[in-house]
């Protein structure tokens, strides 16, 4: 049986926050792809967003699979450390996605206008709790 401590609850809360953010980016990318596909001239950007979304999904699968295997093989004493490592890996992935998405919006006026109109609610302030 695993003991619940304040630190393990903090790690779980951080995981929920970063997972929510990643889901938000996945949804934003999906909607952005649909928006860009409506204009033939924007198909290269739609393709770029598809590749970014694919990277997000595949990286999540890999990190989740690795985390599940570590839970089975990690002694209880190291489990919290492994939990935080997983959270920080997810946070790094989120930063990669945000960097690429920001770069794309700087290069494409149509995408930038759409993201600015869509991004009425961004939870970036919640990410402060990860540190």
Average pLDDT over residues 26-42: 95
* pLDDT tens readout for residues 52-78: 999 999 999 999 888 888 766 767 668
Q: Collapsing DSSP states into helix, strand and coil, what is residue 122?
A: coil
The per-residue pLDDT for 59 is: 95
Q: Per-domain residue ranges for the chain?
A: 28-129
CA distance 124 to 18: 10
Task: Give pTM, 2 decimals.
Answer: 0.83
Which band of pLDDT confidence, cut at 50, 70 and 90, is reported for residue 5?
confident
- Of residues 57 and 119, the one with the higher pLDDT is 57
pLDDT at position 79 over 90: no
- From first CA to last CA, the distance across the chain in angstroms is 28
Determine the pLDDT at residue 2: 60
Alpha helices in 38-119 (DSSP H): 43-73, 76-107, 109-118
Of residues 105 and 124, more confidence is placed in 105
């Amino acid at each position: 049986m695993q003991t619940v401590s304040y630190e393990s609850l903090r790690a779980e809360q951080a995981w929920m926050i970063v997972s929510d953010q990643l889901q938000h980016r996945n949804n934003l990318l999906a909607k952005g792809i649909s928006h860009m596909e409506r204009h033939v001239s924007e198909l290269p950007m739609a393709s770029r967003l598809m590749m970014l979304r694919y990277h997000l999904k595949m990286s999540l699968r890999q990190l989740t699979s690795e985390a599940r295997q570590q839970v089975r093989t990690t002694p209880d004493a190291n489990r919290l450390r492994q939990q935080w490592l997983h959270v920080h890996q997810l946070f790094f992935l989120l930063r990669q996605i945000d960097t690429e998405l920001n770069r794309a919006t700087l290069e494409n006026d149509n995408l930038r206008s759409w993201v600015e109109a869509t991004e009425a609610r961004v939870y970036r302030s919640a990410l402060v709790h990860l540190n």
